[in-house]
């Protein structure tokens, strides 16, 4: 991709400022490309690897999350797994069944991948190649590299995790505790705890754990949390990450009722989620209120 200048010459978009300018200037092209890429990925990788049979996609635009992104509700060919988990004798056995499916089929992990001894030796022996890559500016963002150009897949996963899957608390995830208004410290809605210093977003990160567990989040939704050795990595599907090559998140929807005879109250939570996203505006509620207020004040000024 090139960018034309006023003098008629063109330069490669090798700087972030040039790339962001082009993205904003040709946003319709970016959106069309993203839409087609999602469609192609769902019809190939998702169907063949993740065994997805049906899906619903809602595109959303948010500056804090890299502009355009997709929320996908998918149904996979995994009924036997959930029936087996439902019929498990106890909770630990149920967790074992679900975590095995999550790891083996979905590639989920909350542990930062590491290189084997042999891979470390290979990596050390190719330092000159790595220096060459760094000098070309391609090592700062693993997402820039196409999967067809990858030679060391394990190192590629590590690079992608560092580039795309490390949670850094910011204004988009920090919230005040409405139940305790005396506490001015905000908490991370993603699960990284409270900030240590007011307004600094300096949370402790996700709590590390040595076993797989099922817990309810702040909204009362059950989550499968795999064992964790890093307090910043998002629970990640490494297979999905390596194929999509950008930030991605997979969550299993867990029910208490029989999968073959589900409780309609539990299913209603899914329909509520779909409807809320299908009807969601591009602006936040606060932004909409401010926009209406500006219109009212402008009308009052000229009346």
pLDDT value, residue 233: 96
Confidence of residue 27 (pLDDT cuts 50, 70, 90): confident
Residues 227 and 229: their CA atoms lie apart, in Å, by 7
128 within some domain: no
Residues 301 and 167: their CA atoms lie apart, in Å, by 45
pLDDT digits (tens, 9 = 90+) for 235-251: 999 999 999 999 999 99
Residue 16 lies in domain: 12-77
Residues 113 and 233: their CA atoms lie apart, in Å, by 10
89 within some domain: no
Number of compact structural domains in the chain: 1
Question: Residue 77 corresponds to which tokens in the numbers above?
Answer: 């060919």
pLDDT value, residue 140: 61
Q: What is the mean pLDDT of residues 261-284?
A: 81
pLDDT value, residue 278: 76
Q: What is the mean pLDDT of the chain?
A: 84
Residues near 224 by Cβ (< 8 Å), separated by ≥ 6? 95, 98, 99, 102, 212, 213, 214, 252, 254
pLDDT value, residue 303: 64
Give the number of other Cβ atoms within 10 Å of residue 228's Cβ. 21
Least confident of 40-44, 162-166, 213-217, 274-278: 274-278
217 within some domain: no
50 within some domain: yes
22 within some domain: yes
pLDDT digits (tens, 9 = 90+) for 66-83: 578 899 999 999 999 999
pLDDT value, residue 284: 65
Residues near 9 by Cβ (< 8 Å), separated by ≥ 6? none
Q: Which helix (H) or strand (E) holds 25?
A: helix 16-25
Please give the share of the chain, as a percent, with pLDDT higher than 70: 83
Burial of 169 (0-12, 13-18, 19+ CB in 10 A): buried
Q: What DSSP designation does 144 have?
A: G
293 within some domain: no
Residues near 165 by Cβ (< 8 Å), separated by ≥ 6? 233, 234, 236, 241, 247
300 within some domain: no
195 within some domain: no
């Amino acid at each position: 991709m090139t960018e034309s200048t006023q003098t008629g010459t063109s330069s490669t978009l090798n700087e972030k400022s040039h790339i962001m300018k082009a993205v904003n200037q040709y946003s319709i092209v970016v959106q069309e490309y993203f839409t087609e890429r999602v469609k192609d990925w769902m019809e190939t990788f998702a169907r063949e690897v993740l065994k997805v049979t049906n899906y619903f996609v809602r595109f959303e635009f948010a500056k804090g999350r890299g502009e355009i992104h997709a929320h996908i509700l998918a149904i996979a060919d995994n009924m036997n797994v959930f029936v087996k988990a439902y019929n498990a004798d106890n909770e630990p056995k149920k967790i074992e069944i679900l975590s095995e499916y999550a790891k083996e089929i979905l590639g989920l992990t909350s542990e930062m991948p590491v290189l084997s001894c042999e891979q470390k030796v290979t990596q050390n022996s190719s330092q000159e190649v790595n220096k060459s890559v760094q000098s070309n500016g391609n090592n700062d963002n693993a997402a820039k590299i196409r999967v067809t150009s990858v030679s060391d897949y394990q190192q590629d996963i590590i690079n992608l995790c560092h580039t795309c899957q490390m949670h850094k608390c910011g204004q988009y995830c920090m919230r005040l505790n409405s139940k305790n208004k005396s506490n001015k410290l905000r908490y991370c809605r993603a699960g990284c705890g409270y900030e240590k210093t007011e307004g600094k977003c300096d949370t402790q990160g996700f709590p590390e754990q040595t076993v797989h567990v099922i817990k309810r989040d702040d909204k009362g939704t059950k989550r499968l949390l795999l064992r964790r050795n890093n307090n910043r990595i998002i629970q990640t599907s490494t297979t999905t990450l390596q194929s999509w090559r950008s930030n991605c998140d997979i969550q299993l929807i867990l029910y208490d009722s029989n999968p073959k005879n589900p409780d309609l109250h539990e299913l209603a939570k899914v329909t509520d989620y779909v409807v809320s996203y299908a009807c969601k505006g591009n602006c936040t509620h606060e932004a909409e209120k401010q926009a209406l207020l500006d219109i009212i004040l402008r009308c009052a000024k000229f009346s």
